[in-house]
Amino acid sequence: MSNNNNKFFDSLVSKTKIYLIIIAILLLIICIIKPILILPALIVYVLIILYTYWTNQKRMAEVSEHIRDLTLNVDNVSKRTLINSPFPLIIVETDGSIIWKSTRFVSEFRDVDINPILDEVIKDLKLEIENNTKLRNNQISQKIVIGNKNYKILGEYVKSKQVDKKKKYMATLYFVDETEIVNLKSDYNNSQICVGIAMIDNYEEILQRTSGEEQVQLFSQIEKKLYDWASEYKCLVIKVERDTFIWICEQKYLEKIEESKFNILDIIKEINVSNKIQSTLSMAVSTEGDSNYEKYQSAKNAIDIALGRGGDQVVIRKNGKYTFFGGRTQELEKRTRVKARSVASALEELIQESENVVVMGHTNSDIDALGSALGIYRLAKTLGKPANVVSSSIGVGLGNFVKYATRDEEYQKAIIGKEKALEITNSNTLLVIVDTHKKSYSDVPELVDMAGKIVIIDHHRMSTDYIESSVLTFQEVYASSAAELVTELLVYSNQNIKLTNVEAEGLYAGIMMDTKNFTFKTGVRTFEAAAYLRKCGVDIIKVKKWFQSDLETYNIISEIVAKAEIIGDSIAISVYNKVDKDANIICAKAADELLTISNITASFVIGNYGEKICISGRSLGDINVQIILEKLGGGGHITLAGAQVEGMNIYDVKEELIEKIKEYFLEAGN
């Protein structure tokens, strides 16, 4: 108000000066015409100046009085507004002192022990002010729950004083009751529709291995159990195909289903019509999408992940994240070869439509990745297309094979590094990725964005960060290795493919490595693939020599095994703390060796190859090492998995691994 006063007075004075100047000019003209009037004019002008000064002072006093009255009235209104505020109001200092509470505040929190809550509010407020976070123009906004009500705290703070060089602030806080709004929002969210898909995993297996009467009995029981389960949680279930159901529920019931850990999975597995086969169910549900159709499409993507991870599990897509339930049983080998034939035919068409073919495995490549890549290379060459295999990193287990392969001039040119791969890849290139489905794990991730079309051939359980842009995916978790899948594609190809010894032995070595000499994860089709490769001229003795460790490596593995710790009576954990670029290979071999010890059902070996900490996990099948290492950003299979961790030292990773193992058993117990 004082600023307005000054402006008004300045304006008044400015106008008065103009009038005085005009009068002075007129008197001066009169004096020039009649000099005798000089003295009277001077006296008159002095009187005018005195009168003007007196009137200005009087007006200024009147304005000041008016402003004082107005300010007093405004202050009184402000005080009454604060005292009679419809919202609970409190004035506090950041040292914890409470300056004043409104009557409404006292009555609102009469039945609540408000002091501890205020202490926390003031503490948080002080931190926010000092850190200058979340606050704009000294405005305060917080949310808090007091009793069974939700409040939004609004207000403003000012600097009050400084004590012992410490700044002190005063804040006026309004507590706005938002309980009704929060409840309405909660009711709205709870009533939102969730769309899900349920599929019988082994439908074809049941048809092949059970009689007609048993099939009818089994499928009718599965449907009844599913409908009963849906009825319990107020879900709507619709059968859309022989083995597929659409289910719909409200958000509030989905939360209850999550609390039950989707017990429908166990209910379905308990159905036993005969001892020939066990039925399992895969499910997916999504809450994401502006329409029910978008939610359905999201659920379809999620069910692909569930099936790609081996089935017998649930995948939930919610708030931009995936949540998993189940997935603890062994994958069942599928004996139908329809998919292999259709993929082989589709792959040939894609190769023929492309300008050139680039085949790539995963980073720190192994014999399974390189052997599989050479198999696809031979298919492309048979179809008359230029082809190359990308291998920018060679592990200790791959060195002998690469030396053997590059004796041939053809493979010297065919196997290329990163720079050459980036040079020859364009929008007309077909990129075939083998033994991985993650962009971050691929040998040269940049190629994924450069290639026109992408094909994925992998045997690992699908993770959430899979490459979504692939036009063709052959991902079968039942398979022992990527080499087994590639061999099947070659067998069912429409072309007369003649593998060289290098290619056949590379594929055979890939199967042999991932099955640990045909002892782990081997099915009927694994041996069929191996038999086909054997017919192509594989020298088994030569392949075995590639896997032989030198004495130094063998001693390192022995030391790792010797210092292993036993967790929970049956899990072995060991650490290889030397920085070694081949640490992942050594850790894998050490983990395999630990499984040969009596009473050990799972093993984990942690290694350090410089930039990252690697973990190799192995199991006899009783413990799902894939679920454990997935918690650390890894993946794999129930019996064979791995992970890479950044930003932690090797011993912190060990402690984190032990925590994840405990979590696994805690979840299994529930």
Residue 332 lies in a domain: no
Predicted model pTM? 0.60
For residue 616, what pLDDT is reported? Answer: 92
Comparing 532 with 639, which gets the higher pLDDT? 532
Section 236-265 average pLDDT:
89
Question: Is 392 a residue whose pLDDT tops 90?
Answer: no
Q: Is the pLDDT of residue 652 over 70?
A: yes
Whole-number percent of the chain with pLDDT over 70:
87
Residue 474 domain flag = yes
CATH of the domain at 499: 3.90.1640.10
pLDDT at res. 5: 46
Cα separation, 219 vs 226, whole angstroms: 11
Q: Identify whether 333 is part of a domain.
A: no
Domain range spanning residue 582? 551-669
Half-sphere exposure of 509 (CA within 13 A, CB side): 31
Same domain, 179 and 265: no
Closest by Cα among 71, 57, 59, 52 to 3: 71
Boundary-marking domain end, from 300, 326, 352: 326
The 3 state secondary structure assigned to 98-141 is EEEECHHHHHHCCCCCHHHHHHHHHHHHHHHHHHCCCCECCEEE
**Does residue 6 surpass a pLDDT of 50?**
no
Q: At what angle do helices 524-535 and 482-491 cross, to 10 degrees?
A: 60
Q: Report the percent of the chain where pLDDT is more than 90.
A: 22
Pair (132, 231) in one structural domain: no
pLDDT in tens, 406-434: 888 898 899 998 899 999 999 999 999 99
Same domain membership, residue 318 and residue 296: yes
Task: Specify which residues 145 forms β-bridges with.
Answer: 150
Say if residue 498 is in the same domain as residue 406. Answer: yes
Whichever domain contains 147, its CATH number is 3.30.450
Task: Give how many domains the chain has, as a whole number.
Answer: 5
480 and 402 assigned to the same domain: yes
Angle of helix 338-353 relative to helix 367-382, nearest 10 degrees?
Answer: 60
Question: What is the model's pLDDT at position 238?
Answer: 92
Would 331 be classed as within a structural domain?
no
Last residue of a domain, one of 545, 570, 593: 545
Structure confidence by residue, pLDDT tens digits, 452-501: 899 999 988 777 678 878 888 888 877 888 999 999 999 988 888 899 99
Which of 185, 217, 251 finishes a domain?
A: 185
Supply the CATH number for residue 592's domain.
3.10.310.30
The more confidently predicted of residues 550 and 526 is 526
Is the per-residue pLDDT at 7 higher than 90?
Answer: no
